[in-house]
Chain A
Amino acid sequence: MAERTVAWAPYGTNTLIGAEVQRIDGPLKASGHAKYSNDINTPGTLFAKLLTSPHGKAKVAKLDVEPAKKMPGVKAVHIFRDIGSELTCDGELIAAVAAERPEQAIEAVKAIVVSYDVQGHFVDEDDLAAAEAKGLTKPQGENKKGDVDAALAAAKAVHKGYYGTTTITHMCLEPHGSHCEWKGDQLVAHLSTQNVSGTAGQFAGPLGIEEANVTINCEYIGGGFGSKFAADEWGVACAKLAKEAGRPVRLLLDRATELKVAGNRPSAFAEVTVACDAEGKLTAWDSKHWGTSGVKGGTVALTVTPYVFDPPNRRRTATGLVCNTGPNRAWRAPNHPQACAYTQTAMDDLAAKMNMDSYDFFKKNLDLTSQAHLYAPEMEIAAKLMDWKAKWHPRGAGGNGPKKRGLGMAMHTWGGGAHAATCLVKVHPDGTVETFMGSQDIGTGTKTAIGIVAADTFGIPLTSVKVHIGTNKYPKAGPSGGSTTIGGVSGPIRRASLEALWKICDLVAAKYSVPADSLSAKDGKIWSKGEAVCTWKQAAGLIGPMALEVMGEGPKDDKLTSAQVGGVQMAEVEVDVETGIVRMVKMVAVQDIGLIIDRTTARSQVLGALIMGIAYSLTEECLFDNATGRMINADLANYKLPRIGDIGELVVEFYEPESEYNRGVIGLGEPPVIAPGAAISNAVANACGVRVPVLPLTPKRVLDALKGAQA
């Protein structure tokens, strides 16, 4: 290392970074030894269960928790919403009971005397006219550029269509909640959170205690997807119940409540008019979209409409519907999947109208994107992996039998970047390394990535690095959201590890009389000009009796991390036009991600995103029932998710020329989950000849669309 600048090693010189590395906590997770918040069983732990509203809209008319207190095993009761409270959706929390056993808590909840003044609900998330008639809309404004009407009049082809994506929920397999225990005036909360360093205050404030007296622990979290940034009212209630009972309490939401109130992805329905010239170049976009995020009445942001492609003339409006449905939360790539779906399905329909191969149509319009330099090569790679040109056929020419094949594609964009974080890197005199960071591994492989960066910087095996995360008592790290974690953790770790290495190299230089700036670390040794000077262990031994500690911060003005990715996806499906069942045949994802730290977990992220994409494209949705005002399918049998046999062949390819490596680390969690909706919908249209406008593409929707086309 000639110069001591904080940077990644030159392209192609890493040992672990960019390699296939198994996650370091794999055996503990796979064998059930990893402890999640829902698994904490400290002695005397009580179990809390919830009373929730069974109505879409109601007022608490009567509430008496005294009978519950007399039930066997009950130690504490908490009221969320007392008499007179307005309840705005099914599942809203009313009271919680903590008892010796969960079975007792469940029965005690039933002993609570409660009655409701039931009011008229509105849950029809796609009925804009009805919402307007009832005054339940919130216009989000209009935004214009160019002259849309003139462009439409001059266009070669104009397509008008209706599209939509219904509300879906996060469905974290570990529900939201915590295990809370008091030690004197100190609260220890095992919280299932994506925000280890940022939630202490959310307990301290409502509880009236000092933030320094709150410990947040979360070494393992069973899914978050954007819904677990907060302590939430049930977290604070858990701490209160524990205080009242003088015992630890575990309060995790039951499955139905988890689905109803712990977050969802807003719906978006759109009327779109899109136009192009004779060449197939987009000239105008005119859209009106609406949807709901619950009683707040939000929908997908205007700013991402149209998505990726920005024609010279556009007009867009959005309206939020005030529905008695659960509140939304950030759901993996907020706004993008819905906007991608209604934009790129409309474009695909316009391509079909022009009798153009959608691939050619998208390609023709790449200069309307801000990242043509990424999309163009990624499209080529994807097309090769899908064998697009050989397989493509005009819309509806999917074969003679009832099972029709079809192809579709779509593309996405995401920012990423790095969140603010600090780490402590500790090098022990025996050469072992520890890292400390108040971060969390939501399944993305954060822990493993931290270990890889430290190990590669010191030139030691991954097993020599002990990675500590999961408590707010470590140096702070940002929440795992927006695909900012990998950049957020790898920057500070690289920086601190390099600075520690340089200090040790100074000691080596003095001891072995070699120039300090000639030294580098690799394969467990310190090297100078191609010669091994000493072992890493010998070098670390020069530190003295106590560990060397270095703090690292990020992001800084360095080249360690970056932002902005593209990504192209293609789907091949088989549609049974007699049953409306869509089967995935194959999906290809080509993704640029900058510098790859762990190829294995990075690939898993993309695979997971594709599968989650298949889920919201084909099977999952929140069903809000007009008769009862409830989310009628709030269980895992009726909230349908794909199973292992439903995913087809998945191909993940990273677009990674040297230029990508040189961009530094970029987050990957969100981008690949965006395009599947449009890609799969386009493939279904290509297969069966009819646009099925609303996701998910269930047998009902496919058959209804086919029947509508015949009529």
Chain B
Amino acid sequence: MDRDPQTRSGPGGFHRRDFLKGSGAAVAVTALATQAAEQQAAAQEQAKKVSSKDPQKIILNVNGKDQTVTVEPRVTLMNALRNDLNLTGCKDVCDNAVCGACTVLVDGKPVYSCTKLAIECTGQKITTVESLHSATGTDPVVTAFCKHDGMQCGFCTPGFVMAVRGFCNQHPGASLEDCRKGLGGNICRCGTYDGVLKAAFDTAKSVKGGA
């Protein structure tokens, strides 16, 4: 019978070692740039390090435009986009980071906007699905979803479109199997996965060299 690790040594009884102290030989290989710290907008935000519980006037850069909203820190990015900016393409479905209907891109990466605070996203570039189809043009992802009928009721579709957009940006030339594996963060109830998968694969093929 194995022992519960917790009982192996009591609290405080285990060996501690401060690696930082003895890490003279450490080689700093910072693979990831500290982009966030360098961003001007973020730097400005740091002037105000603690925001109160009250509504805060913040600037969100959405679809290339700075927009001012006044929201409490507890307001999610999803709710700010939907209720304050009327960008209702990101849908409120699970509010629980499992279904993907609220997917937007933050600095180009697909995220669940229901588990981001709006205030957290100041200084970042937010892209919503509405920007993929406007007077100035239609994104190939939207065209691919229409071509393969990757939608029925359409409620999960905008989130899926953004997941595909973000996924294909990160994985240009992704295979069908890659698409299947990468897009498991969205739920469709009508059952449009077959069309979505074809649309994703079409899009992945069309993205060369990433974005």
Q: Which residues of A contact B (CB under 8 A)?
A: 22-23, 25-36, 38-39, 41, 47, 101-103, 171-174, 220-225, 254-255, 442-445, 600-601, 603-605, 607-612, 615, 635-637, 641-645, 647, 650
23 pairs of residues in contact across A and B, judged by CB atoms under 8 Å: A26-B145, A27-B142, A30-B154, A30-B161, A31-B158, A32-B87, A32-B89, A172-B189, A173-B189, A174-B155, A222-B155, A442-B153, A603-B149, A604-B152, A604-B192, A608-B192, A611-B193, A636-B93, A636-B94, A636-B98, A643-B187, A645-B183, A647-B193
Looking at chain B's contact residues, the main secondary structure is loop
The answer on a CB contact under 8 Å between A607 and B189 is no
CA of A269 to CA of B99 in the docked complex: distance in angstroms? 31
Chain B 154-175: CB-based contact to A (< 8 A → 1; otherwise 0): 1111100100000000000000
The answer on a CB contact under 8 Å between B91 and A641 is no
Q: Nearest Cβ in chain A — how far from B132, in angstroms? A: 5
CA of A173 to CA of B187 in the docked complex: distance in angstroms? 9
Q: Which residue of B88, B93, B158, B191 contacts A30 across the interface (Cβ within 8 Å)?
A: B158
Chain B 124-143: CB-based contact to A (< 8 A → 1; otherwise 0): 00001110110000110111
Q: Nearest Cβ in chain B — how far from A28, in angstroms? A: 8
The answer on a CB contact under 8 Å between A103 and B180 is no
Contacts of B179 in A (CB 8 A): 644
The answer on a CB contact under 8 Å between A32 and B83 is no
The answer on a CB contact under 8 Å between A39 and B191 is no
Chain B 57-69: CB-based contact to A (< 8 A → 1; otherwise 0): 0000000000000
CA of A89 to CA of B148 in the docked complex: distance in angstroms? 42
Known A-B contacts A29-B154, A173-B156; the reply to A637 vs B98 at CB < 8 A is yes
Contacts of A637 in B (CB 8 A): 94, 96, 98
Known A-B contacts A39-B82, A255-B94, A636-B94; the reply to A30 vs B153 at CB < 8 A is no
Known A-B contacts A645-B181, A650-B194; the reply to A173 vs B130 at CB < 8 A is no
B111 is an interface residue with CB less than 8 A from chain A: no
Contacts of B194 in A (CB 8 A): 607, 611, 647, 650
CA of A644 to CA of B75 in the docked complex: distance in angstroms? 30
Chain B 194-205: CB-based contact to A (< 8 A → 1; otherwise 0): 111100000000
CA of A255 to CA of B189 in the docked complex: distance in angstroms? 14
The answer on a CB contact under 8 Å between A32 and B158 is yes
Contacts of B210 in A (CB 8 A): none
Contacts of A31 in B (CB 8 A): 89, 129-130, 132-133, 138-139, 142, 158, 161
The answer on a CB contact under 8 Å between A611 and B146 is no
CA of A221 to CA of B156 in the docked complex: distance in angstroms? 11
Q: Which residues of B contact A (CB under 8 A)?
A: 72, 74-75, 79, 82-83, 86-96, 98-99, 101, 128-130, 132-133, 138-139, 141-143, 145-147, 149-158, 161, 179-181, 183-197
Which 4 A-B residue pairings sit nearest by Cβ, starting from the closest?
A32-B89, A611-B191, A222-B155, A608-B191
Contacts of A23 in B (CB 8 A): 146, 149, 151
Residue of B with least CB distance to A106: B74
Known A-B contacts A174-B155, A443-B153; the reply to A644 vs B196 at CB < 8 A is yes
The answer on a CB contact under 8 Å between A255 and B146 is no
Contacts of B151 in A (CB 8 A): 23, 26, 29-30, 443
CA of A179 to CA of B185 in the docked complex: distance in angstroms? 29
Contacts of A36 in B (CB 8 A): 88, 91, 155
Known A-B contacts A39-B82, A644-B186, A645-B180; the reply to A635 vs B158 at CB < 8 A is no
Known A-B contacts A30-B158, A173-B91; the reply to A22 vs B152 at CB < 8 A is no
Known A-B contacts A173-B187, A255-B96; the reply to A644 vs B193 at CB < 8 A is yes
Residue of A with least CB distance to B132: A31
Contacts of A171 in B (CB 8 A): 189
CA of A225 to CA of B155 in the docked complex: distance in angstroms? 14
Contacts of A28 in B (CB 8 A): 133
Q: Which residue of A25, A615, A643 contacts B184 across the interface (Cβ within 8 Å)?
A: A643
Q: Which residue of B72, B130, B152, B191 contacts A32 across the interface (Cβ within 8 Å)?
A: B130
Q: Nearest Cβ in chain B — how far from A380, in angstroms? A: 24
CA of A443 to CA of B155 in the docked complex: distance in angstroms? 9
Residue of B with least CB distance to A604: B149
Q: Nearest Cβ in chain B — how far from A147, in angstroms? A: 44
A-B contact count (CB 8 A): 190
Residue of B with least CB distance to A612: B191
The answer on a CB contact under 8 Å between A29 and B157 is yes
Contacts of A225 in B (CB 8 A): 189
The answer on a CB contact under 8 Å between A101 and B75 is yes
Contacts of A29 in B (CB 8 A): 151, 154, 157-158
The answer on a CB contact under 8 Å between B189 and A641 is yes
The answer on a CB contact under 8 Å between B149 and A26 is yes
Known A-B contacts A23-B149, A255-B94, A637-B98; the reply to A30 vs B157 at CB < 8 A is yes
The answer on a CB contact under 8 Å between A32 and B187 is no
The answer on a CB contact under 8 Å between A22 and B89 is no
Contacts of B190 in A (CB 8 A): 223, 443, 608, 612
Residue of A with least CB distance to B177: A645
The answer on a CB contact under 8 Å between B88 and A32 is yes
The answer on a CB contact under 8 Å between B153 and A32 is no
Q: Nearest Cβ in chain B — how far from A49, in angstroms? A: 12
Q: Nearest Cβ in chain B — how far from A511, in angstroms? A: 40
Contacts of A223 in B (CB 8 A): 153, 155, 189-190
The answer on a CB contact under 8 Å between B101 and A173 is yes
Contacts of A650 in B (CB 8 A): 194
CA of A611 to CA of B88 in the docked complex: distance in angstroms? 27
Residue of B with least CB distance to A444: B152
CA of A38 to CA of B93 in the docked complex: distance in angstroms? 10
Known A-B contacts A30-B146, A611-B191, A636-B99; the reply to A220 vs B93 at CB < 8 A is no
Contacts of A642 in B (CB 8 A): 193
CA of A26 to CA of B150 in the docked complex: distance in angstroms? 9
Known A-B contacts A27-B146, A102-B83, A636-B99; the reply to A34 vs B154 at CB < 8 A is yes
CA of A183 to CA of B142 in the docked complex: distance in angstroms? 37
Residue of A with least CB distance to B146: A26
CA of A600 to CA of B151 in the docked complex: distance in angstroms? 11
Q: Nearest Cβ in chain A — how far from B100, in angstroms? A: 9
The answer on a CB contact under 8 Å between A636 and B96 is yes
The answer on a CB contact under 8 Å between B193 and A635 is no
The answer on a CB contact under 8 Å between A220 and B154 is yes
CA of A637 to CA of B91 in the docked complex: distance in angstroms? 17
CA of A172 to CA of B92 in the docked complex: distance in angstroms? 12
Q: Nearest Cβ in chain B — how far from A170, in angstroms? A: 8
Residue of A with least CB distance to B130: A32
Residue of A with least CB distance to B93: A173
The answer on a CB contact under 8 Å between A635 and B89 is no
The answer on a CB contact under 8 Å between A609 and B153 is no
Q: Nearest Cβ in chain A — how far from B157, in angstroms? A: 5
The answer on a CB contact under 8 Å between A33 and B130 is yes
Residue of A with least CB distance to B183: A644
The answer on a CB contact under 8 Å between B94 and A32 is no
14 additional A-B residue pairs with CB within 8 Å, beyond A30-B150, A101-B83: A26-B146, A30-B133, A31-B129, A31-B132, A32-B91, A32-B161, A33-B130, A101-B72, A171-B189, A173-B155, A173-B187, A601-B149, A608-B190, A637-B98
Contacts of B128 in A (CB 8 A): 32
CA of A604 to CA of B193 in the docked complex: distance in angstroms? 10
CA of A115 to CA of B203 in the docked complex: distance in angstroms? 54
